[in-house]
DNA sequence: TTATCTATCCCCCGAAACAGTGATTCTGCC
DNA sequence: GGCAGAATCACTGTTTCGGGGGATAGATAA
């Protein structure tokens, strides 16, 4: 018996999912909430196995709520729920510990499959959400100027915290040369200092 | 009809999966390879819908091969396949465009479900792999000293490429103060310069 | 055979970062 | 009321960074 709780600020959605699930015999309706506060209130004295959680809600949104829930009650599985399908939100939910993401217009079968999968510790994405996530991941890895191997090597060492003189000593170059490569990195990647260089490099997985 | 190709350096695994799948009527055996090179050779003149790909292979491993395949043939879905279950590898595969990950000892049902899900653009994780991935994500977000809200604010601005004087002007502080906060950040996070500070911040999702 | 790119090296200079030390005010908590 | 921590500001150095300018050699591609 899987106890399912739902948080959504739209009564229609709660009602719709409730009517979809109430006939299922291995699913129990644990409760419902229309915002993050009352959801957290519920879990002080109650529990559930799976929370269906709307991404966008007034006040604390699903991304934050998910993070709080997973810290306080790691055993409760969170399944993101939304009408729209944006890679960024999906990614943030997952980083905050969600176990999957489905669209509100999913079929009953998909919803049930998702609930079962996540209640067993698995991860579930509806086809469309999966594609959106992959598109998003792809979009951030493009349009970067090609770096030479030397530049990549020096970028890596900068990211490890070495200064120009230290890098020079390490790879047997003049520190002038290291500085030249460093300036080329800033110019090529169109950033103005080390901070934004490293941020870009890590985010774009150059290192 | 889903055309399935498999790359694995263990003949036993290829044979086992072949015998599992050959009875399925909506699955077609596209071919097999025992290393990355012959896999890439196959796809010069042939194609498939889904590749079951071993993570660990001699020569080019699954992580690299996956990246190459997804660049050359983005329409082919890659499903990671391994005997062991390590979050780091799973994460790397996913970052390189894989659509999921299952264990070699998965049940036939799980394997079929995974193949169908990814062939439709979805993402599939077996329960155990999903848990390993979440454990891994969690493990990297721990043991960090708590930053104050001011420190987080300034860290964010540093990461955006602003200098101390610029930050000072932006949030109406003395640049001495900004510098103090900056020093506290370096000390608290135990790093020695901006480069490693930003790297840590981005990797640990502090910003 | 030029032309371009990469990698290497060099110099100057001002701005920024980093290290060390110390101080005051405010706020939340016991 | 007192205490700890946060937030603020201050001064003095030294080191590193970043912008600007240039030079040479080798590889490679047009």
Q: Which residues share a beta bridge with A3?
A: A28
Residues of A within 8 A of B99 (CB-CB) are: 130, 134
Mean of all residue pLDDT scores within chain B: 89
B18-43 pLDDT tens trace: 999 989 989 999 999 999 889 999 99
Name the closest residue on chain A to residue B119, using Cα atoms.
A127
Q: What is the pLDDT of residue B105?
A: 81
Q: What is the pLDDT of residue B29?
A: 94
A31-52 pLDDT tens trace: 999 988 899 889 989 999 999 9
Q: How far apart are CA A166 and CA A168, in angstroms?
A: 5
Nucleotide nearest to B176 (CA to C1'): D9
Mutate which of B2, B124, B161 to test chain A, going by most A C-beta atoms within 10 A? Answer: B161
Residue A137 per-residue DSSP state = H
Nearest C-alpha neighbor of B99 from the set B50, B46, B27? B50
The reply to whether B161 has its C-beta less than 7 Å from any atom of strand D is no
Name the closest residue on chain A to residue B161, using Cα atoms.
A196
pTM for this model (two decimals): 0.79
**CB neighbours of residue A73 within 10 Å:** 15
pLDDT greater at residue A69 or residue B141: A69
Confidence of residue A142 (pLDDT cuts 50, 70, 90): low
Q: What's the whole-number mean pLDDT along residues A142-165?
A: 91
Tell me the CA–C1' distance in angstroms for A88 and C15. Answer: 37
pLDDT greater at residue A64 or residue B52: B52
Q: How far apart are CA B51 and CA B61, in angstroms?
A: 14
> Cβ contact (<8 Å) for B194 and A192?
no
Nearest C-alpha neighbor of B43 from the set B98, B92, B6? B6
Chain A to chain B, count of Cβ pairs less than 8 Å apart?
99
Ramachandran class of A51: left when φ > 0, alpha when ψ lies in -120 to 50, beta otherwise: beta
> Cβ contact (<8 Å) for A205 and B160?
no
Mutate which of B85, B93, B122 to test chain A, going by most A C-beta atoms within 10 A? Answer: B122
> Cβ contact (<8 Å) for A127 and B133?
no
Contact B57, B9 (CB under 8 A): yes
Q: How far apart are CA A13 and CA A22, in angstroms?
A: 14
Helix (H), strand (E) at residue A103:
strand A100-103
Residues of A within 8 A of B122 (CB-CB) are: 125-127, 130-131
Of A123, A128, A197, the CB nearest to B125: A123
Name the closest residue on chain A to residue B201, using Cα atoms.
A199
Q: Nucleotides of chain C within 7 Å of a protein C-beta?
A: 6-11, 15-23
**Mind giving me the DSSP string for A149-193?**
HHHHHHHHHHHTT--HHHHHHHTT--HHHHHHHHHHHHHHTT-SS
Tell me the CA–C1' distance in angstroms for B134 and C17. Answer: 38
Mean of all residue pLDDT scores within chain A: 89
The nearest CA of chain B is from the CA of A119 a distance in Å of 9
A162-203 pLDDT tens trace: 999 999 999 999 999 999 999 999 999 999 999 999 999 999
The reply to whether A18 has its C-beta less than 7 Å from any atom of strand D is no
């Amino acid at each position: 018996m899987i106890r399912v709780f739902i948080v959504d600020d739209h009564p229609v959605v709660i009602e719709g999912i409730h009517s979809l699930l109430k006939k299922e015999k291995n699913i129990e309706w644990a409760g419902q909430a229309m915002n993050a506060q009352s959801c957290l209130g519920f879990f002080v004295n109650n529990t559930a196995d799976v929370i269906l959680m709307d991404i966008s809600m007034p006040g604390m949104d699903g991304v934050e709520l998910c993070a709080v829930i997973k810290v306080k009650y790691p055993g409760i599985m969170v399944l993101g729920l939304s009408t729209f399908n944006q890679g960024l939100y999906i990614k943030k939910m997952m980083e905050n510990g969600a176990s999957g993401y489905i669209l509100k217009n999913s079929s009953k079968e998909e919803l049930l499959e998702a609930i079962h999968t996540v209640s067993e510790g698995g991860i579930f994405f509806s086809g469309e959400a999966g594609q959106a996530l992959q598109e998003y991941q792809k979009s951030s890895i493009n349009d970067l100027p090609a770096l030479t191997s030397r530049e990549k090597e020096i970028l890596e060492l900068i990211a490890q915290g070495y200064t120009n003189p230290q890098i020079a000593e390490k790879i047997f170059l003049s520190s002038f040369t290291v500085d030249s490569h460093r300036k080329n990195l800033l110019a090529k990647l169109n950033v103005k200092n080390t901070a934004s260089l490293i941020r870009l490099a890590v985010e774009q997985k150059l290192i």
